[in-house]
Amino acid sequence: MTHFEFDKGDLDLLREALARMEQGFRDLPAVPRPAGRSYDEAALRDVLLEVATRMQDNYPYFHPNYAGQMLKPPHPIARLAYSLAMYINPNNHALDGSRASSPMEKEAVAEIARMFGWQVHLGHLTGGGTMANLEALWIAGQLRPGDTVLASDQAHYTHSRISGVLKIPFESVTSDRYARMDLQALEDRLKRGGVGCVVATLGTTAVGAVDPLPEILKLRERYGFRLHADCAYGGYYTLASNLDAPARAAFDALGAVDSIVIDPHKHGLQPYGCGCVLFRDPAVGKFYRHDSPYTYFTSSELHLGEISLECSRAGASAVALWATQRLLPLVRGGEFAGMLESCRRQALELYGRLAADTQYVTAFPPELDILVWAVRGPDLARASAAAKREFEEAAARGVHLALAELPARFFYSKSETLGRDATVMCLRSVLMKGNQPGPA
Ligand SMILES: *Cc1c(COP(=O)(O)O)cnc(C)c1O
């Protein structure tokens, strides 16, 4: 076997695309350069090579042997399109600063909305899932001032923290043994009243559990709350053909929620700095209204800065996302959907191997592509210590997993004897590099 190499062939393509982009500015007068280059080439080289050396100090997120956290590099088309756009560095705040890239953002976001079945929507890209969820909860708080936000105890911690920032009351609802929101606990809380918004997570960050959306929608008919779906991690799985029935039913019901968050920088093959928030009712745009003396709105068309809490935003993110969706459209049965399907197949295959191995205790089968398993031990403390040892031993062999402390009830059927709050340290693997072989 030969050693690892990054793919460098596409740098020629970047040069060709840069020359094409240059053609569009051919009529500009030449800019006289200060003798030679505008920078000291030798100094530039020194610093860049120093950066390359510093960057050697990373776990190999791009390699099949890295099967730990949610990390992988963007698709080459995203990397190239982003690099190309950076020569111009558009700002997708106002159309004046992003004549090409704002329309590309609108097109790319509309395609994501259509993936969820929305022909009409209001939405935009954000710096990530946190900002996207903040906007969704902010709108929920505007519409139902003073009312409580509910999310499951397996929801991302950002919801309770954002609620704190927005000064919206927040409560968590317990999860069941499959790490999904417990419907009885949810209804018990709804009966007490004062709930303005329920957050359903489709693909929890820890284990990839999918909350039972069809049943939550039925409760909405009775109790009338706003429903936000946090699909930051799992959203693209709506395209996959190999989900189990409960997850399939949840994704099929997504069109009925009020707002959706999805992170193109997680499963959408994008560089970091790319989240997305979508609202079903475009009328919520009225809450974003501002009156800035700094923004030059020379066009009467929608400026994305009018419907976004963040002001300056990377046009390059939109360009990268647009290019990726152009190459890999968000359709069922397509190449992109196939990549998600193979992520899930790998997770199921690893689950089968671990379930058959008496050293380990598996939780439930993975609903998406995140797998968690405990190491068998006489008690929770020793099982946790054994998981940490295995984590370190795997790392020493060059295989990178993750650790997670999770409720013991996910793993042990007799968990009543352990108490509801008992936890166990377990191993966790996010198998999100679908087109690659699994870890060695
Ligand atoms: C990752 C994640 C978030 C936070 O998103 P960032 O992009 O990390 O800011 C929120 N919710 C869920 C379900 C996530 O997986």
Are the C-beta atoms of 139 and 285 separated by less than 8 Å?
Answer: no
Assess whether 290 and 357 both reside in one domain.
no
Q: Is the CB of 175 under 6 A from ligand 1?
A: no
So what's the pLDDT on residue 36? 57
Tokens coding 166: 């927005």
d(CA 429, CA 89): 36
Q: Is the CB of 92 under 6 A from ligand 1?
A: no
Assess whether 281 and 356 both reside in one domain.
no
Assess whether 111 and 236 both reside in one domain.
yes
What would the pLDDT profile of 133-150 be if each residue is shown by its tens digit?
A: 999 999 999 999 999 999
So what's the pLDDT on residue 421? 87
The domain in which residue 248 lies consists of 86-327
Is residue 188's pLDDT more than 60? yes
CA of 9 to the centre of ligand 1 (A): 33
Assess whether 405 and 365 both reside in one domain.
yes
Q: Is the CB of 205 under 6 A from ligand 1?
A: yes
So what's the pLDDT on residue 199? 98
What would the pLDDT profile of 315-365 be if each residue is shown by its tens digit?
A: 999 999 999 999 999 999 999 999 999 999 999 999 999 999 999 999 999
Handedness of CA 414, 419, 422, 428 (dihedral sign): positive
Is residue 293's pLDDT more than 70? no
Assess whether 371 and 232 both reside in one domain.
no
Q: What's the farthest any 2 CA atoms get from each other in the chain? A: 79
What would the pLDDT profile of 84-139 be if each residue is shown by its tens digit?
A: 999 999 999 999 999 999 999 999 999 999 999 999 999 999 999 999 999 999 99
Assess whether 207 and 247 both reside in one domain.
yes
**CATH code for the domain in which residue 386 is found:** 3.90.1150.10
Assess whether 311 and 339 both reside in one domain.
no
Asked if residue 19 is part of any domain, the answer here is no
CA of 233 to the centre of ligand 1 (A): 7
Among 327, 352, 383, where does a domain finish? 327
Which residues share a beta bridge with 122? 279
So what's the pLDDT on residue 381? 95
Residue 217, amino acid:
L
Taking residue 355's Cβ as centre, other Cβ atoms within 10 Å add up to 14
So what's the pLDDT on residue 41? 87
Please state the domain count of the chain.
2
Buried b (16+ CB within 10 A) or exposed e, 211-249: bbbebbbebbeeeebbbbbbbbbbbbbbbbeebeebbbe
